[in-house]
A and B are shown apart, each in its own frame.
Chain A
């Protein structure tokens, strides 16, 4: 009996999941990637004659809550117009009953692929650009909740995009996922806030959303979270960028992480949200200080370190003045003889 290889099985599964685009303006090109609740396909918009990405739910069955969640994700993306957030073009339902939304196709690399061979300052500047759309979303009341290297894309023109807002929610919702009452949402509750709550129920009561290593302690416990859970994730991303490994993998693997950067990571990833940076902007301000050879707020330098930093910043001036003083000293010495 001929056995099917994994590759063939994967292909068959992909074919089974391939969306039926009959009656839509889209033409299927190829499969792109797997998301948490669906798959992403490269399609051609036949009217505008451009390639776009289509995110489609996997199953029709039990799709009501998931469909609402997908719609919620599309609404969040549509409401967050920022160069660092993928724009949404369209939402709808396929003829096979599956919900979808259409977004910009990002042709590029993930953060992990992009940083190979990049210097630490370049990596830090990348993180600053990741933090911009996150800060923008926080200012508008949204939390990403799944920031990780795989969800950061660098486009063909060097643009940095924060992807996969599938776990995003409105911040400051005082809900404990584990204590959510088991009832369907009423019509009047279908506001953005209630939709977010429905998202929680759709994922299963007590279930933990996010990625280990990048997830804050309060998110791991299933407690209420606010925007500082994303600050934790940004700290984990910073560690990944400077140490080359995710925080969950332990030490930096032989990479020497400068103390100020380590202090920034530690502050962003503090167990208590109160001890963290209170905004993504605060964190990037400290990163900017580090890049400018200025003292960072997260780290208290001792005199020796301060002197070394000032010397590194003004070494030429220090050497010139030292040479001048040495010359003066030699003149005095010879004048006395």
Chain B
């Protein structure tokens, strides 16, 4: 599995998990479908960006920092749209970015599919 695909898969899974955990907050429970979809898309976008970075830059430290930064920025945008819950959204979002950044640097191959 190449680094971009790994980033997308991991970002989507963790993003979906992140979104599902919002069900435990009664105030937003009615919007759970939108939250899960949004969180998953956020995770996928983060995964693509972090995966592309991992293909270009081979540094575990930089990969983790970049992942953390991407996760925080995307989570901030979501929090802005929600007009609140900054801490509850940005902290997990940053963690997801950090995990994806670590995983894409450590695992995943550099192979790409060749065009005929």
Contacts and interface: CB of A to CB of B under 8 A. Distances in A.
Interface stretch (A24-32, A190-198, A317-325): A317-325
B104 to A, nearest CB: 12
B95 A331 contact: no
B58 interface: no
A331 B98 contact: no
Contacts, number: 31
A328 interface: yes
Contacts of B96: 324
Nearest to A324: B95
B1 to A, nearest CB: 15
B102 A317 contact: yes
Contacts of A316: 102, 106
B98 A320 contact: yes
Contact of B102 (A320, A327, A335, A336): A320
A335 B24 contact: yes
26 contacts: A316-B102, A316-B106, A317-B99, A317-B102, A317-B103, A317-B106, A320-B95, A320-B98, A320-B99, A320-B102, A321-B99, A324-B14, A324-B96, A324-B99, A327-B95, A328-B21, A328-B92, A331-B21, A331-B24, A331-B88, A331-B92, A332-B21, A332-B24, A335-B24, A335-B25, A336-B24
Given A317-B106, A324-B95, A336-B24, 20 more contacts: A316-B102, A316-B106, A317-B102, A317-B103, A320-B95, A320-B98, A320-B99, A320-B102, A323-B95, A324-B14, A324-B92, A324-B99, A327-B92, A327-B95, A328-B92, A331-B92, A332-B21, A332-B24, A335-B24, A335-B25
Interface of A: 316-317, 320-321, 323-324, 327-328, 331-332, 335-336
